[in-house]
Structure 1
């Protein structure tokens, strides 16, 4: 039995869905359609399904979930050739799922989505993990977790390596309870937001402010009122000389987080751009 799939939604329909109803693959392709407006989702749905169909008989004959995942990873990363784009990590194409499926190159979260979508079509409950740094995937096994790195061929990660990976982001190696919390499954909405935030970061670094604003706007479609996205869209609007939109977004950001570390700098930027300081206190 495969997972249920639905036609590619529009942003209004997508935003109205709860986390459990959000269709990850169609939503990821909807993000890609912003950059590739002629994108037809059907061939990409068919490609992911073909990966699953190719594996179905082999995986069904395997008893243990870790061995099932080993077969999936071998097919995706060795036979088909999906791999992490180590040479051009910040290429925005690494975040657009149509490009990932076409080029067989991606970043951790996009490769995780391919891995998850194929596994779920084979009734294997593979989840994403919003791990600090690189996105990972997890599979419940025998009362524990098998954690894998899709950016490096689906390689399983030992507990000590996970602690070491988390340490630079947390200031110290996490204990068991903190590590388990970090390894909680990421809902579809959180995965999509992370994709969009990655894109925002890439485009802001390139000074492509129209695309940066668009990425932040899509986050706000999925999570209305999200403070960082309001700030990011407002700052992009400032760069685009869209002062009215910048004032609205940044004033709302300062209402939500008045003690933010960047609050005074944002007030100053708005004043310099012709905003009204009195309305921002």
Structure 2
């Protein structure tokens, strides 16, 4: 798959409904769009192995146990505690090779395998730390893919929420804390992680690519185009930055004032 083909796939994914959104395929396309010169066979093989192993484990184990044992035990996927901010942690191809990554990157693999085996599994946009929600006969459970898929107890969820600065009355509402999000939102959260790290490292080319992927994944949102513009400005591509700001203005009149100010600043630089 070339970068152009990946971009076309992401464009198609962005046009699909949330229910029909192809999470794993789109995540692969994001990785190829970032770095197309890699072999996808290892990540595809691991994804297939995860489904095969989970299918066998579900015959004798509960859904949450089978999922954790498959992903963390059989496939050795875990959170990267040592080099948490390494760029590879946010890339599904690299994670398949290294067997470690960010919570949301690991979560993509959990979601792919679990859904393929009929599990009712969703991402949870928990503040500061991506989690998974799995439906069981006893009710919904929170799983932490970063911590080998272990179950996160309700009391711990509340403690984590309080540490992020949420008010006690909000931190006590488990239905809010465990509210499922769409697969599109899962992948956009992953791209946000990439953008933030690239921006901090002043890797403006990578920041631009991640912002562009967000724009393709959610073509109705103007915010990614503002980030595309900022990344292009960081590279000195002022004409391209102006084009991105124009896209933001077209999508949302609420962005007009901020975009207009940025455009005027860049026009002065162009002159």
TM-score by length of 1: 0.82
Q: Counterparts of 2:53 and 2:140 in 1: how far apart (Å)?
A: 26
Q: Does 1:11 align with 2:10?
A: yes
> Where does residue 198 of structure 1 map in the other structure?
193
Task: Look up the match of 1:30.
Answer: 29
Alignment of 1:122-137 (within 5 A): 122-137=117-132
What does residue range 61-72 of structure 1 map to in structure 2 within 5 Å?
A: 61-62=60-61, 67-72=62-67
- Matching residue of 1:87: 82
Question: Which residue number corresponds to residue 3 of structure 2?
Answer: none
Among residues 216, 223, 238, which one is paired with 1:243 in the alignment? Answer: 238
Q: Quick check: 1:149–1:156 contact (8 Å CA) kept in 2?
A: yes
Please name the residue that 1:53 is paired with. 52
Is residue 227–residue 256 contact of structure 1 (8 Å, CA) maintained in 2? Answer: no
Moved more, 31-40 or 130-139: 31-40
Supply the RMSD in Å over aligned alpha carbons: 2.7
Equivalent residues of 2:71, 2:149 under 8 A apart: no
In the aligned structure 1, how far is the partner of 2:191 from the partner of 2:215? 10
State the shift of 1:96 in Å: 0.9
Unaligned runs of 5+ in 1: 1-7, 277-281
Partners of 2:189 and 2:38 in 1: how far apart?
21
Q: Equivalences for 1:40-189 in 2 at 5 Å?
A: 40-62=39-61, 67-142=62-137, 144-175=139-170, 178-189=173-184
- Aligned with residue 219 of structure 1, among 199, 214, 220: 214
Question: Does the aligned pair in 2 maintain the 1:231–1:250 contact within 8 Å?
Answer: yes
Aligned to 1:5: none
Structure 1's 55 and 171: CA in aligned 2 closer, same or farther, altered over 3 A? closer
Q: Identify if the C-alpha distance between structure 1 residues 275 and 247 changes in structure 2 by more than 3 Å, giving closer, same or farther.
A: farther
**Residues 106 and 275 (structure 1 numbering): CA distance in 2 closer, same or farther, change over 3 Å?**
same
Q: Is the contact between residue 228 and residue 241 of structure 2 (CA under 8 Å) also seen in structure 1?
A: yes
What is the number of equivalent residue pairs in this alignment?
Answer: 261
Report the Cα offset of residue 43 of structure 1: 4.4
The CA distance in 2 between the partners of 1:105 and 1:91, in whole Å, is 11
1:192 and 1:117, CA in 2 relative to 1: closer, same or farther beyond 3 A?
same
